[in-house]
Amino acid sequence: MTDQVIINEVGLRDGLQNQPVHVSTDDKARMAEGLVAAGVKYLEPVSFVHPKAVPQMADAVELTPRLPKGDDLHYTALVPNLKGYERARDNGYPTVGLVLSTTDTFNQRNLNMSLADAVASCKAIIAAAKRDGVQTRTYISGAFACPYDGPTPVDVTHTLTRDMLAAGSDEIAIADTIGAGNPQQMKDIMAPLIGEYGATPFFVHLHDTRGLAAAMAWAAADLGVRKFDASVGGLGGCPFAPGATGNVATEDLVYMLEACGLKTGISVEGLRAVVALASEATQRPVGGRILAWIKSQEERGRDICIS
């Protein structure tokens, strides 16, 4: 197992898409620069969805040329359908994220399609991307639980994953979209898949809604998963639900994985500057748990508390 970890920063996309305060293209470009300065190499800054559905993503075309450039930087755009895929490709994205939810209800709400139609749509996008030389990462959304239908049977997640890999998806992101999973479920989902395909194709996408994102990330890392989505400051989640936090905070994931001896290449101090930008841009306090601890240490100076 390698000790190198890939962290795909989704704060600009998943983190901002639900924010009630409009975030300007300028602020997004500044955040992207800060993330890259902190060592982030993988970013998902936009989705090509209808601007009426997700107004915060309406500036995808304007933002794209303003993102930091570099041969070592890897950008993904999220696409809901074939039309979105074509826009992502035409705007130069080398990787696209596809969304496939685990239930009919969730696909209807997310994509206005049945599960069967969503599967067919993903296969069509994967086929088109193969022709165009674009990489595909398929998100199995609600892999742990559906917000409408409750816990997802592990067989459903496995079947959709295998189906998408067979269709040629380069990567699969196993997504706990609503933060309702647990580490045992992570093990039940990932262990057989890793046994079958190795760890390389798999991303894990976590939300910290119920406080279990770190435990689930560890369960995945312990099985060999080395690719994670995360969102600077823990941006994301539903802004209208106090306590329903967002994606796992990039700084928390980086702190834990580095403490465990893995290498992310990302600096927590560097992320802290982006958290300050994000708090300003979204007009609400954000920030992972490790930043609260660092702040408390700074406030206390050298005094040490034994308990």
**Could you write out the DSSP letters of every residue in 242-283?**
TT---BPBHHHHHHHHHHTT-B----HHHHHHHHHHHHHHHT
Per rule CB under 8 A, is residue 234 in the interface with a copy of itself? Answer: no
| Smallest distance from a copy of itself to CB 285, Å | 13
Per rule CB under 8 A, is residue 228 in the interface with a copy of itself? Answer: no
Q: 122, 146, 238, 260: which is the annotated catalytic residue?
A: 238
Q: What is the spatial distance between Cα 32 and Cα 45, in angstroms, rounded to a whole number?
A: 8
| CB-count exposure of residue 158 (10 Å: 0-12, 13-18, 19+) | middle
Query: Site for a copy of itself (CB under 8 A): which residue of 155, 261, 285, 302?
Result: 261
Per rule CB under 8 A, is residue 109 in the interface with a copy of itself? Answer: yes
Per rule CB under 8 A, is residue 215 in the interface with a copy of itself? Answer: yes
Measured from the CB atom, is 71 or 307 closer to a copy of itself?
Answer: 307
| Smallest distance from a copy of itself to CB 70, Å | 30
238 tagged catalytic: yes
Label residue 265 left, alpha or beta by phi (over 0 means left) and psi (-120 to 50 means alpha). left
Per rule CB under 8 A, is residue 207 in the interface with a copy of itself? Answer: yes
Measured from the CB atom, is 84 or 201 closer to a copy of itself?
Answer: 84
Options 14-22, 38-46, 115-123, 190-198: segment touching a copy of itself (CB under 8 A): 14-22
Place of tokens 């030389």: 133
Per rule CB under 8 A, is residue 9 in the interface with a copy of itself? Answer: no
The number of angstroms, rounded, from the C-alpha of 38 to the middle of its chain's C-alpha atoms is 18
CA neighbor of 12 nearest in space, from 43, 45, 41: 45
Measured from the CB atom, is 195 or 261 closer to a copy of itself?
Answer: 261
The 10 Å CB-count burial string (b at 16+, else e) for 222-244 is ebebbbbbbbbbbbbbeeeeeeb
Label residue 99 left, alpha or beta by phi (over 0 means left) and psi (-120 to 50 means alpha). beta
> Which residues are near a copy of itself by CB under 8 A?
14, 17-18, 106, 109-110, 147-148, 177-178, 182-185, 187, 207, 209-212, 214-215, 217-219, 222, 236-238, 240-244, 246, 252, 255-256, 259-261, 288-290, 292-293, 295-297, 299-300, 303-307
